[in-house]
Structure 1
Amino acid sequence: MTPAGGTEGAPVRPLWRERDFVVFWGAQTFSVAGDSFAYVAVPLLVLHVTGSVAQMGLLTGVAGVASIVAGLFAGALVDRFDRRALLIYCDLARVVSYGLIPLAWTFGPQVWLLYVVLPVSEAIGMVFQVTYVTAVRTLVRDDRVTEANGLLYATYAAAGIAGPLLAGLVTERFGATAAVAVNAASFAVSVVGIRLIRFGGQATAPDGQAVPARQGPWRELLAGVRFLWRHPVLRPLTVLLSFLVFLTYGLTDVLIYFFKHDLGRSDGEVGVILAIAGLGTIAGSLLAAPVRRRLWFGASWIGAQAVGALAMAGIGLSGDIPVITALAAAYLACASVAGISSMSLRQQVTPDRLLGRVTSAFWTIHNSTGPVGAALLTWMAGRYGAAEVFLLAGGGCLLIAVAALLTPVRRAAPEQPEHTV
């Protein structure tokens, strides 16, 4: 069987020699580095002003709801409009939205503004992320999708290490709003890079059939839902991830609260710890493709979820910073292996004409549990303690990994033709 986009017997060039992929790779690395500043700075802004981990969780939850709502129409936009233009417009909008925070804060703390900017930015980010997933499919051959995703996530993680480290230092020296300003600027750099990229055409489907007439957002979303439901592996995978997202969506806020409240660490130290833990994401991203080749899909996804769950529970059992940092790194490595395997499978088995809507439906469904989970977990951390939350979440995730063994998710190669619909 000849991989899509390739010619049988043709030499395989390293991805770093593919011009459009490399430009996309570099542009998004800058963007993720900036996102890492907001990843640290926004929760700290809330914590400094309110002192409440529940407020941190509420903001995360509200932003998550906005992302879910955006998912209703993101797939339809991506499947019908120019992907390059969508990426550029999304980044320009985020330059403006995040830029409002440091501007407004010059007149004093404006926590209310975060409840406007963050949801808007997350909604825009959902459109961007759906577009991003479909873009990767047009930049590399189908048989190299997992490799491409691994490289992208590895360098994103490398940027994510420098980001939290620098964000903690910038926040400690200049304030959290300065770190948010860096995030806004990073989106401008991303715009410049994306303007240099050429994506594949999408006016017609790969089989030559014309793109269907435009329908309402619900009908467009249902087209993606129907594909997920009919696919024997994507269906249970979506359900399992809905439970996983519920248990993990708010863990970053809980971890920051754990370091600040329970362990008494400074903003700079929090940035350093998160940066070191981010090494796990790099390791997992680079391991995703070889692990999937060796263990195939089912064992890779289920094994990564099980080991990650044990690492998460271990955080709740330790009060030692180096141990917690190592366990957080292990969890992030496992999350990368599982996440890249899942996303690559979806990219491989979905027709290009449906990929935006399927991605949108997939994320909308399983992310719908996240805001409630974030609000509940952060409330529990404030009420009962962060350690208890990590124990509970780790145990729940382990049960989900065990449950996956009873579903078609355990299949070795669901991307093969006999498993597609």
Structure 2
Amino acid sequence: MAGTDRDFGRYLNARVLSVIGAVVSAVALPVLVYQLTGSAGWTSAVTAAEALPYLVFGLLAGALADRVDRRRLMVAMDLVVAAVLLSVPLVWLAGGLTAPHVVAVAFATQTAFVFFDAANFGALPTLVGKERITAAYSTLFGRTTVVELVVPGLTGLVVAVVAPASLLAVNALTAVGSALLLRSITSSLANPRPVQGAGQLVADVKEGLRFVWNEPTIRILTLVGTTHSVTSGAWMALLVPFADQVLGVAPKNDARLAALFSCWGLGAIIASRLLPRLTSRWGNARVALWALPASLSSGVLVVLSGHWLLTCALAICWGVAGAVVVINGITYRQQVCPEELQSRVNTTARMVAWGLGHPLGAALGGAVSVATGDPRAGIVVGLAALLLGVVTAWVSPVLRRQKYRSQT
């Protein structure tokens, strides 16, 4: 047990380092592209490029991660991320950085992350055991949400005075640190099974798809989660233009941008404290039913707000509701899914919910924003998709009759 706890500590620190780097990139890349182009369309393209790899590679990554050594796969992907990200500050220093280069880097790093994430979904239950998965995931989520609360604000402050391209070197360093920590784990993170040709991978993919579709609660949570991701994709794609054009918060030399980037992280950490109490009293299904319309209402109020302080307060509420929806779905999947299907099932659900929803929301939001000249219109398109998800959840009998509870 002591060895497992020590390895879990290494795993936890590796994930914290990875999240720090990912959050720095999530703030720096849109700001960088907006500074280069002044275009909501290019800014949306970065967000879409970061989410699209899950749609393209999610099924393959999940099937592969259930068969190979997950630790080796995660280490390799960390090193790929470090190498690709270093190209941005190097080309920037040479004076040749362009928006297409930044978009290509966003796509490449997130492609590596898809394979990393697929291995990660199966690694944690294997490392700690299913009986400890809720406590382990809660610890992991608590640590990473602190990062998501603090780092966006700090990054927003830094990009106000430092070129965002140079910050991507930080992400490269954190990726290397994560790789070294993961490499030092001695406990098994998988039971590798040889890949016997492409046909075997295809069969594995189909098995994962069948599980997601045939488990009714996972199916409905994945479908409504997709509409939620459309909304979050539109919001993240248009946050910088919305701050600039609607709230008067400039993407450069304005510390208020740091506060706006911190709101969802603060909402997520509040949700991590509230969720166990809510689910123990009402059950996960009822909490999910009410969290969806709460997220929709918060998003509508954000669009209607016109002052950055009011927007921050409302965005925190939006972050609380959104995090409740996301954590609910993830923990339920990991509790009911067999170990040998963990990577496939979780990446399949994430591919549909996030890999399809997030880039779709970013693309639609960006297109509408460019066509109308108003970033609020693009966010409204995302909220319309979430309205469809709310209706679907309440019309479907699955969540209303289910009384599933997380084992917290």
Distance 2:237 2:29 in 1: 10
Kindly tell me: are residues 376 and 298 of structure 1, through their superposed partners in 2, closer, same or farther at Cα, counting changes over 3 Å? same
AA of the residue aligned to 1:338: V
Deviation of the 1:392 alpha carbon: 4.5
Letter in 1 for 2:42: Q
Determine if the alignment matches structure 1 residue 259 to structure 2 residue 243. yes
Tell me, yes or no, if structure 1 residue 156 matches structure 2 residue 144: yes
Stretch deviating more after TM superposition (235-244 or 304-313): 235-244
> C-alpha root-mean-square deviation of aligned residues, in Å?
2.5
Deviates more, 1:88-97 or 1:385-394: 385-394
Shifted more, 320-329 versus 357-366: the winner is 357-366
Q: 367, 375, 391: which is aligned to 1:386? A: 375
Deviations 1:223-252 (A, max 9, x none): 111111111211222222233323322311
Within-5 A mapping of 1:18-417: 18-108=5-95, 109-200=97-188, 202-203=190-191, 215-216=198-199, 217-266=201-250, 267=252, 268-366=255-353, 367-384=355-372, 385-407=374-396, 408-414=398-404
CA 1:72–1:141 in structure 2 vs 1: closer, same or farther (change >3 Å)? closer
**What TM-score comes out, normalization by structure 1 length?**
0.87
List alignment gaps of at least 5 residues for structure 2. none
Higher helix share: 2
Provide structure 1 residue ranges, at least 5 long, that are not aligned to the other structure: 1-12, 205-209, 417-421
Instruction: Give the superposition deviation at 1:320.
Output: 1.7
* Cα-to-partner distance string for 1:47-71 (whole Å, 9 max, x where unaligned): 1111101111123223433332121
| Offset at residue 263 of structure 1 (A) | 1.9
Q: Which amino acid aligns with 2:365?
A: L
* Kept after mapping to 2: 8 A contact 1:249/1:374: yes
| TM score, norm. by length of structure 2 | 0.89
What CA distance in whole angstroms lies between the structure 1 residues aligned with 2:388 and 2:69?
Answer: 42
Amino acid at match of 1:116: A
Partner of 1:95, secondary structure, is: helix
Q: Does the residue aligned with 2:66 lie in a helix, a strand or coil?
A: helix
Offset, 1:368: 2.1
Q: Secondary structure of 2:160's match? A: helix
Q: Does the 8 Å contact 2:145/2:269 carry over to 1? A: yes
Distance 1:287 1:192, change over 3 A: farther
Provide the C-alpha distance between the structure 2 equivalents of 1:376 and 1:293, rounded to a whole number of angstroms.
Answer: 38
Q: What do the CA deviations read for 1:59-106 (whole angstroms, capped 9, x no partner)?
A: 322343333212131012210111111111111110111111101111
Q: Distance in 1 between matches of 2:137 and 2:321?
A: 15
Are 1:137 and 1:145, in contact at CA under 8 Å, matched by a contact in 2? yes
User: What is the number of equivalent residue pairs in this alignment?
Assistant: 397
Offset, 1:179: 1.6
Identify which range, 398-407 or 130-139, moves more after superposition: 398-407
Deviations 1:271-314 (A, max 9, x none): 23212442111111233333222221211222222211111111
